[in-house]
Amino acid sequence: MRITTAGESHGKGLYAIIEGMPAGLTVDPAAIGAALARRAGGYGRGARMRIEQDEVELLSGVRDLVTLGSPIAVAVKNRDYENWREFMAPEGCDTSSRRLTCVRPGHADLAGMKKFGQTDARNVLERASARETAVRVAAGEICRGLLEELGIYVLGFVRAVGPVCDRREYVFSELAARSDVLGMLDPALEAQAMAEIDACKGAGDTLGGVLELHVWGLKAGFGSCMTYDKKLDARLCGALMSVQAIKGVEVGLGFSAAALRGSLVHDEIFPDGTGGVYRKTNRAGGIEGGISNGEEIVLRAAMKPIPTLMRGLQTVDAATGLSASAAPERSDVCAILACETVLEAALCGELCAVVLEQLGGDTLAAVKERYGRSA
Amino acid sequence: MRITTAGESHGKGLYAIIEGMPAGLTVDPAAIGAALARRAGGYGRGARMRIEQDEVELLSGVRDLVTLGSPIAVAVKNRDYENWREFMAPEGCDTSSRRLTCVRPGHADLAGMKKFGQTDARNVLERASARETAVRVAAGEICRGLLEELGIYVLGFVRAVGPVCDRREYVFSELAARSDVLGMLDPALEAQAMAEIDACKGAGDTLGGVLELHVWGLKAGFGSCMTYDKKLDARLCGALMSVQAIKGVEVGLGFSAAALRGSLVHDEIFPDGTGGVYRKTNRAGGIEGGISNGEEIVLRAAMKPIPTLMRGLQTVDAATGLSASAAPERSDVCAILACETVLEAALCGELCAVVLEQLGGDTLAAVKERYGRSA
Amino acid sequence: MRITTAGESHGKGLYAIIEGMPAGLTVDPAAIGAALARRAGGYGRGARMRIEQDEVELLSGVRDLVTLGSPIAVAVKNRDYENWREFMAPEGCDTSSRRLTCVRPGHADLAGMKKFGQTDARNVLERASARETAVRVAAGEICRGLLEELGIYVLGFVRAVGPVCDRREYVFSELAARSDVLGMLDPALEAQAMAEIDACKGAGDTLGGVLELHVWGLKAGFGSCMTYDKKLDARLCGALMSVQAIKGVEVGLGFSAAALRGSLVHDEIFPDGTGGVYRKTNRAGGIEGGISNGEEIVLRAAMKPIPTLMRGLQTVDAATGLSASAAPERSDVCAILACETVLEAALCGELCAVVLEQLGGDTLAAVKERYGRSA
Amino acid sequence: MRITTAGESHGKGLYAIIEGMPAGLTVDPAAIGAALARRAGGYGRGARMRIEQDEVELLSGVRDLVTLGSPIAVAVKNRDYENWREFMAPEGCDTSSRRLTCVRPGHADLAGMKKFGQTDARNVLERASARETAVRVAAGEICRGLLEELGIYVLGFVRAVGPVCDRREYVFSELAARSDVLGMLDPALEAQAMAEIDACKGAGDTLGGVLELHVWGLKAGFGSCMTYDKKLDARLCGALMSVQAIKGVEVGLGFSAAALRGSLVHDEIFPDGTGGVYRKTNRAGGIEGGISNGEEIVLRAAMKPIPTLMRGLQTVDAATGLSASAAPERSDVCAILACETVLEAALCGELCAVVLEQLGGDTLAAVKERYGRSA
């Protein structure tokens, strides 16, 4: 299974093709729409988000809401394309307007201009923008549908917004209680986080945070210890790291494990009295030796603060070589809820790929039957 | 370029094939040997390491120490295979001996037995073992040779051993001063770390740590903001995460960035007075928008403590279903220097792949010429 | 570079995403439109073709007709979707109508129903249909644009229509004279072929033929002798074989070479007096050892007759298990000109991928510069 | 599943790594050895073959002759390496001897020298040589073992040697009667072919031929009509075309289908009276719409005559630019039996990859169980 995406931020829309999804899976546009709405929301977002109201359009691979086994193409239109057509139309447009040359630190602008031989960072940022994640969410939600048919569930929450951090441990069954405001689980901390966002907004500054994702229901044996690039942790963390603004990823105890002795890190195994085993801890985050071990998968990711600041960062105008202030293209203070939504989708996408590689199968029925027989 | 590896821990040897290396690159067996020796050393290792003395054998793809453009096969023999032949020989052996059924927490043993339908964890652990990294080091060092021809250098050091952490910032030019004992840069901290290892050894326990890797000389423009799975950070972090015992990876400020405001995270850009630009900070770790930006690449990885403890962890004997103590297969307390060596090699391998994808080229001369013309 | 396609025959449209195309390439919608028109035409086509008038829409990756280096999404809408919406809409439709259960020999119907667990061959044939090639043509023509910037040209012609075969040898410069009626070069033979088509039509039967493709301007050194799946002939022939209705492919003399002695097959090499070399023959079809040798690439493909016959083939109704006649879904007698157009596009796509893998490059300027320096 | 190969013709040996083979498959070295012996034999071979006596060595991935699920590394040593060590040793050797500059038409020599920037064709031909196929045979035979566990059998025979062609149709059950002399089924024709080889040898010339391969027992549904590069015919033909000396491939009627009307090409379908169906013909060669249809797979390949002729072909000495005669590196007249052996192995390898992609599975038991449940 592979998800291929395309589309610019102010172009016609965002597009994705999912190859390798089995036939017989029901697609739920309402669920995709809800995820898109969640991605566009959250405390700390600016004005643009309100006009977006993204919707997914199913273009192919699905008939009467059921997959055919053929490539699934989906689109998320850009609702303000009409305002940008004159400057962005593939068929012909005025590229001398809407130029951006005061390259923004923290974005792909400067490096992308060098890479692609551009004198206008617009030609880079349109694709590098996190707008791309709208269609990754749409595709990821379709993959979530497959996982849920197997009894595999993915949920995440926001552990920290800037310096406001929730240090409690949670298990999967608690995560559904996350807020829709900032995605946190502790209301008191979320109130603190909102105040921090307000303060940041006043200062023209931005915030990131820490996100945590859990997978419940994945049986033991997915991923592989036999080939380095098939390791489950490598694949899932690579997928999370491919999301805009992510600067770190970890599994289970993650970086904390580095400071502890082995006897406090590894999860001892006990007989459950009925021929099976259980563990009292899950510090490994559900992955040992690059393979799922049947416990909850627990991943964490660090989101950097949004690099476009209302107060402006010091930079250079690539057109003149002179000092300049990086103009804000948009005005979010914190997009952590969006990021959480995107990470869930990215995780669903990669996990679905891993599961389908091991199970094979051309129909949902075959995939389910095979998963049912897995150890 | 792709590196394919094979081999079991107590089998005949470890093997790798590197495809896609251009013709004309000189291979330096002494440099590979030095890396293999470094991988086998370091304070905190047990007895087995002393017998290893690994050597690489070039099997193909190289003639008179120069690459031909054909696949490069290399081997690192297992020197104690003679003692294991009777239990491991592919051609026929006694598989009823050397069974391991008291599955070791933190290893692939239990999940791998389920996955591969085994009743003897020997059939899993032989490949899951970190012994595999010997040949990843050999292959990675060949890749380093290509990178160095382009003026790209990779070095790492050990930032933390268990709770002993060096919090200073370093730049690439300082890294060569790292110790060969534990790979740290601060002798006083390294002495503390050695004491911590001694204490751990006395307690029959183990330690991990934090490793930091820098890349110097990589021009702007490598990786891509255009496709999620071509992002440089996703690829490099995925490669590091694929190394045994790694539980977290981060770029630049990494998880620290999540707690800070944007104005303290992004690297402002200044004109250098000669038409170019410079930055006063490198909190991004050299990657913006999934593309190298010309600054040093800075990556960090968390190594968990070795999961095999002399004091034994509580587990279950898969043969009987009864409680048992996980028997130590080997007796290292801390393998952080080995891990650092392996991470450098893994990084060289993946970075070499990224660079060659963008430059193409069948000969070293063409690759160098193209890199020279890069922005 | 990779081309990913999606879309059903009577769905909303056909879609493709081209990843890995460098920035700076001008896209010519008129050229794409001309190829789409050619694909829809030719003597021997039925009524449906007349309503198609396919047009490409550029969705992303292009701004003001110039590529950005981002994924290029294109669409070819299905003009009769309005008539099929009620039976095909992804969002919901009546799947009990337009069922096809009298599985058609020569199509994917029967095998596809088994594979995907379907009771209605509609759910298979909609994607298996050669309609998919419309968007392969669109994508391939964009790739042709890149090749032509390098001075590499691809052209084909129809060598045989059913039993009417042109046995003359041609070189690239003669191919532009091919007809737009059936794609043949010899008017007298083409007239015979048209008569054969007429006769076939009268008999309710169908025809295939033989197509020949030439590449002019490809320098020596593309493809590789070093790895079996990088061989130029394997890649190009695999691409041609992936086109609907193709049952055979060959390079240069192809199957004829099997009957001849070596002295009549291999192309001797002569000094040209200025330090270079030349050959008097090109029986190898421009590929030796899996590498382009600088001569014209010459490929041939066999197209089987269209499997839907007006006279109906004997088959089974999968719904009843009883004998039935395969109902014609459409009424072409011969689609050889369309097939030729598609093969050119498929060849442009794969060749562009080969060239870009070896040259790398993020901009058209870099790609051209590197190709200019190639041997 | 992927097979990666390495090794030079006069280097230490040939090496392959098979990734993705499930655990629990028994490997039969005797069967591999028999295939290697068959590859080295056949009427028309020169003196070198007699010294080869190739043997496979299992290096990893197998314990007591059973696969572990880890990468399987195998080696086929070059028995005359001792005589070539001084000129070929990776560790250091005299590259000024054994130079080949009179580039041989029909080989990779000239194009490869340009590609890899070499002044000595030795550095190209050592890898381009068909010697590489020894290890493809070894790897392919391991794949055959997996296929046979599923009840899928691959056999081929020699249909034509030069102009001597057997035009009878055969089904799978007849193929085991093929000769070990030239691989033909008709003794009278084989005697003619041997005479033709003798005549060729007298003339210092060479011969190729036509090979046919059948697959028996492959169920319907393998390959896919949904994505062009998953089509079974494209994949299998691409694999055959990747074998040295192959210039054409076809499926079922192949090129013959191009000359016939549809009513004579497509395989009508009939009820078998028990709820199933059958066909009276198999002109499609077992593949419709890129999917196996449950009939025998029938493929044909054209082998060109060996390009090294004892009589010498006209060429140019790349060292001087002057006319020269291409010196024979070896003296086979016809290697058609070897080629047949290699094609079977290449087909087993690719087919095994297709089957495992669709079935997934980490153990042979799971793969068999899933195949048993396939339609």
The count of C-alpha atoms lying within 13 angstroms of the C-alpha of D316, restricted to the half-sphere facing its C-beta, is 19
CA distance A19 to chain D (A): 8
CA distance B176 to chain D (A): 28
Distance CA C11, CA C13 (A): 6
Q: CB-CB: which of A221, A279, A303 is closest to B115?
A: A221
Total number of domains in chain C: 1
Mean pLDDT of chain B: 96
Find the residue in D nearest to B21 (Cα): D116
CA distance D146 to chain B (A): 16
Coarse DSSP helix, strand, coil percentages of chain A, rounded to the nearest 5 percent:
35, 20, 40
What average pLDDT does the segment D117-133 reach? 97
Q: Do C88 and A63 touch (CB under 8 A)?
A: yes
Residue to test with chain C: of A17, A25, A81, A363, most C Cβ within 10 A: A17
Asked whether C1 and C19 are in contact (CB, 8 A), the reply is yes
Find the residue in C nearest to D115 (Cα): C221
Give partners of A (≥3 CB pairs < 8 A): B, C, D
Give bridge partners of residue C299 from the DSSP assignment: C213, C251
Give partners of B (≥3 CB pairs < 8 A): A, C, D
pLDDT value of residue D329: 61
Q: Do C95 and A64 touch (CB under 8 A)?
A: yes
pLDDT value of residue D49: 53
> Does the structure show a pLDDT above 70 at D47?
no
Helices (H), chain C: 29-40, 48-52, 81-88, 109-116, 122-128, 133-149, 172-175, 187-202, 232-241, 336-359, 364-373
Q: CB-CB: which of D227, D358, D362 is closest to A358?
A: D362
| Cβ contacts of C92 on chain A, cutoff 8 Å | 64-65
Q: Do C71 and B357 touch (CB under 8 A)?
A: no
Q: Read off the pLDDT band of D227 (50, 70, 90).
A: very high
Residue to test with chain C: of B70, B227, B369, most C Cβ within 10 A: B227
| Cβ contacts of A15 on chain C, cutoff 8 Å | 15, 17, 59-60, 73
Q: Print the domain residue range for A308.
A: 2-373
Q: CB-CB: which of B71, B357, B369 is closest to C360?
A: B357
What average pLDDT does the segment D18-32 reach? 98
Residue to test with chain C: of A9, A10, A15, A120, most C Cβ within 10 A: A15
CA distance A55 to chain C (A): 13
Q: Do D226 and A370 touch (CB under 8 A)?
A: no
CA distance B213 to chain A (A): 14
Q: Read off the pLDDT band of B311 (50, 70, 90).
A: confident
pLDDT tens digits, one per residue of D300-347: 999 999 998 888 899 999 999 999 999 776 679 999 999 999 999 999
| Cβ contacts of C103 on chain D, cutoff 8 Å | 269
CA distance B141 to chain D (A): 16
| Cβ contacts of B69 on chain D, cutoff 8 Å | 115-116, 127
| Cβ contacts of A58 on chain C, cutoff 8 Å | 90-91
Distance CA A284, CA A292 (A): 10
Size of interface B-C (CB pairs under 8 A): 42
Size of interface A-C (CB pairs under 8 A): 169
What average pLDDT does the segment B31-52 reach? 84
Strands D246-251 and D13-19: unpaired
CA distance A367 to chain B (A): 17
CA distance B320 to chain D (A): 23
Q: What is the pLDDT along chain C (375 residues), one digit of tens a residue?
A: 999 999 999 999 999 999 999 999 999 999 999 999 999 999 999 865 555 589 999 999 999 999 999 999 999 999 999 999 999 999 999 999 999 999 999 999 999 999 999 999 999 999 999 999 999 999 999 999 999 999 999 999 999 999 999 999 999 999 999 999 999 999 999 999 999 999 999 999 999 999 999 999 999 999 999 999 999 999 999 999 999 999 999 999 999 999 999 999 999 999 999 989 999 999 999 999 999 999 999 999 999 999 988 888 999 999 999 999 997 766 799 999 999 999 999 999 999 999 999 999 999 999 999 999 997
CA distance D285 to chain A (A): 23
pLDDT tens digits, one per residue of A83-95: 999 999 999 999 9
Q: Do C231 and D248 touch (CB under 8 A)?
A: no
| Cβ contacts of B23 on chain D, cutoff 8 Å | 116-118, 123
Element (H, E) at D112: helix D109-116
| Cβ contacts of C86 on chain A, cutoff 8 Å | none
Q: Do C116 and A69 touch (CB under 8 A)?
A: yes
Q: Would you give the DSSP letter of residue D106?
A: T
pLDDT value of residue B314: 96
pLDDT value of residue C53: 87
Q: How crowded is residue D82: how many other Cβ atoms within 10 Å of its Cβ?
A: 8
Q: Domain containing D139 — which CATH number?
A: 3.60.150.10
Q: Do D360 and A362 touch (CB under 8 A)?
A: no
Q: What percent of chain B stands above pLDDT 90?
A: 94
pLDDT value of residue A329: 61
What average pLDDT does the segment D106-122 reach? 97
| Cβ contacts of B14 on chain D, cutoff 8 Å | 60
Q: Do B63 and D118 touch (CB under 8 A)?
A: no
Q: Do C314 and D284 touch (CB under 8 A)?
A: no
* Sign of the alpha-carbon dihedral angle for A38, A39, A40, A43: positive
Give bridge partners of residue B161 from the DSSP assignment: B164, B209
Mean pLDDT of chain D: 96
Give the residue carrying structure tokens 């890149």. Answer: C146
Low-confidence spans in chain A with pLDDT less than 50: none
pLDDT value of residue A349: 98
Q: What percent of chain B stands above pLDDT 70?
A: 98
Q: Do D358 and A360 touch (CB under 8 A)?
A: yes
Asked whether A309 and B263 are in contact (CB, 8 A), the reply is yes
pLDDT value of residue B48: 57
Mean pLDDT of chain C: 96
Q: What is the DSSP string of A72-94?
A: EEEEEE-TTHHHHHHHH-TT---
Q: Do C362 and B358 touch (CB under 8 A)?
A: yes
Find the residue in A nearest to B159 (Cα): A258
Distance CA C18, CA C138 (A): 10
Write out C158-183 in H/E/C secondary structure: EEEECCEECCCCCCHHHHCCCCCCCC
CA distance D356 to chain C (A): 15
Q: Do C228 and D5 touch (CB under 8 A)?
A: yes
> Does the structure show a pLDDT above 80 at B49?
no
Asked whether A141 and A31 are in contact (CB, 8 A), the reply is yes
Asked whether A240 and A343 are in contact (CB, 8 A), the reply is yes
| Cβ contacts of D227 on chain A, cutoff 8 Å | 19-20, 71
Helices (H), B129-186: 133-149, 172-175
Q: Read off the pLDDT band of B175 (50, 70, 90).
A: very high
Q: Do B271 and A127 touch (CB under 8 A)?
A: no
Strand boundaries in chain D, DSSP class E: 2-7, 13-19, 56-60, 62-63, 66-67, 72-77, 153-161, 164-165, 209-216, 246-251, 269-271, 277-279, 287-288, 291-292, 297-303, 314-316, 323-325
Size of interface B-D (CB pairs under 8 A): 169
pLDDT value of residue A331: 76
> Does the structure show a pLDDT above 80 at D355?
yes
Q: CB-CB: which of A227, A360, A369 is closest to D357?
A: A360
D265-to-A77, B250, D260, D281, D289 alpha-carbon distances in Å:
46, 61, 7, 9, 14
Q: Do B4 and D4 touch (CB under 8 A)?
A: yes
